[in-house]
């Protein structure tokens, strides 16, 4: 993804806050996908059974994550977050304040994109410093784990596996789904199911 730069007003005289960066990113994404009904934008999407929550996710032909680190944030949790999100998302972009731009780049994988948020005269600008690349090593089980139990059972049923599912634990269902479908088909059915959750898509 290579969205165009966005400028959104921020509170002047203060280092950029999370809300400033988030508002600028959401504005950019909403403009980029305004005519695309097949794209869903989700805030605070849980991964690893809720062990982590990425700030913004975009779901369309890929599952893309955006992690925000404003000038007021610390980078203490970023290495662990990078490990978690790199197991799940097709692409990830770190959107950070200028204060963190150099150090943050050293804490995330080389395939992550980097976007720098600056507070300028005309508001918050987002400048792409490094484009994201495709994830070379996503984990099929953790991709399957994004789904709710009912969604997994429904998908397995469509593959012809219906018997015995009701007595299986959700972890076993996720493992079965990950082993039944190849990575490409698994990613596709997971994205389709996630987009169908209209109650938490914006």
* Whether the Cβ atoms of residue 68 and residue 96 lie closer than 8 Å to each other: yes
pLDDT on residue 155: 95
What does each C-alpha distance from 201 to 17, 60, 184 come to in angstroms? 24, 12, 23
Domain ranges of the chain: 7-130, 140-200
pLDDT digits (tens, 9 = 90+) for 122-155: 788 999 999 999 999 999 999 999 999 999 999 9
pLDDT category at 119 given cuts 50, 70, 90 is confident
pLDDT category at 10 given cuts 50, 70, 90 is very low
Residue 184 carries which DSSP code?
A: H
* Whether the Cβ atoms of residue 119 and residue 10 lie closer than 8 Å to each other: yes
Rounded Cα gap, residues 66 and 109, in angstroms: 14
7-130 folds as Trna Endonuclease; Chain: A, domain 1 (3.40.1350)
* Whether the Cβ atoms of residue 56 and residue 22 lie closer than 8 Å to each other: yes
Answer whether residue 11 shows pLDDT above 60. no
Answer whether residue 4 shows pLDDT above 50. no
Sheet containing 123-130: order of strands:
7-8, 123-130, 113-120, 91-97, 63-69, 52-59, 40-47
């Amino acid at each position: 993804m290579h969205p165009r730069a966005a400028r959104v007003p921020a509170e002047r005289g203060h280092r950029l806050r999370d809300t400033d960066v988030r508002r600028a990113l959401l504005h950019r994404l909403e403009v980029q996908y305004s005519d695309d009904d097949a794209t869903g934008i989700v805030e605070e999407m849980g991964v690893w059974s809720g062990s982590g929550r990425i700030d913004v996710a975009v779901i369309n032909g890929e599952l893309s994550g955006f992690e925000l680190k404003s000038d007021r944030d610390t980078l203490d949790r970023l290495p662990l977050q990078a490990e978690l999100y790199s197991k799940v998302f097709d692409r990830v972009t770190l959107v950070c304040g200028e204060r963190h731009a150099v150090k943050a780049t050293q804490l995330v994988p080389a395939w992550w994109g980097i976007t720098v948020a600056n507070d300028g005269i005309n508001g918050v600008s987002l400048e792409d410093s490094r484009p994201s690349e495709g994830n070379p090593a996503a984990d099929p089980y953790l991709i399957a784990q994004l789904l709710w139990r009912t969604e997994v059972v429904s998908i397995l049923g469509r593959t012809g596996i219906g018997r015995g599912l009701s007595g299986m634990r959700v972890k076993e269902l996720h493992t079965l789904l990950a082993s039944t479908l190849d990575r490409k088909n698994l990613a596709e059915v997971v994205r389709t199911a996630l987009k169908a959750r209209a109650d938490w898509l914006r």
